[in-house]
Amino acid sequence: MASVFGGGTGGADMLIISPLAKISPLADIEDSVRGSRVIIEDGAVVDSFVKIKFAGGSGDVRIGRNSIINSGTVIYSGHGVTIGAGVLIAANCTLAATNHRFADRDRPIQAQGHMPGRGGIVLEDDVWIGCNTVLLDGALVRHGAVIGAASVVRGEVASWTIAAGNPLRTIGQRGGD
């Protein structure tokens, strides 16, 4: 993998992109202000209008080999986002590995900072995330799982499971009749 300057304060060590990855010139990868990194591996594709934003923590964003992130997807680094190999993320998804504090009624939410992490977001290998899905801090989608369009993922989804909805529920198994 080759290091590439992010163009701002992040420097070469903050943005590590394989020369075999395809990043649209219309993708927007912001510079980290906390030392977090974006690592994009061989064969990964980051489509136009994908936004990677460093917010709410110091976690890294890693996009694994041959994974595809489609247009309009927004990734907030928060407590870390790990996307395995061969993952498909459809258009207009949100991966938000962070949460705002809001309990103190005497202070505006913007002044309360962020909550402690719940483990970031982890998508293991061979996962498919349907369009308009939201993945929250603590989401763990195991190997081979499929998440239906417009779902909200907050916890663990077992390997080979097909899940959809809000609240998320299992609707089948890959390879099952």
The domain spanning residue 62 has which CATH number? 2.160.10.10
pTM (predicted TM-score): 0.90
What does the pLDDT read at residue 118?
A: 84
128: how many CB neighbours lie within 10 A of its CB?
19
136: how many CB neighbours lie within 10 A of its CB?
18
CA distances in angstroms from 43 to 23, 82, 90, 174, listed in the order given = 10, 16, 17, 25
How many angstroms from the chain centroid is the CA of residue 108?
Answer: 27
The encoded tokens of residue 82 equal 């790990």
**Helices (H), ranges, the chain:** none
SS3 string, 49-101, reads: CCEEECCCCCCCEEECCCCEECCCCEEECCCCEEECCCCEECCCCEEECCCEC
Q: How many domains does the chain have?
A: 1
* Amino acid (1-letter code) at residue 25: P
What does the pLDDT read at residue 58?
A: 86
Give CA–CA dist 154/168, Å, rounded. Answer: 8
Domain extent, residue 39, equals 2-100+109-173
Taking only the tens of pLDDT, the chain with its 177 residues reads: 443 434 444 455 789 999 999 999 999 999 887 889 999 999 999 999 999 999 888 899 999 999 999 999 999 999 999 999 999 999 999 999 998 889 999 999 999 988 877 899 999 999 999 999 999 999 999 999 999 999 999 999 999 999 999 999 999 999 865
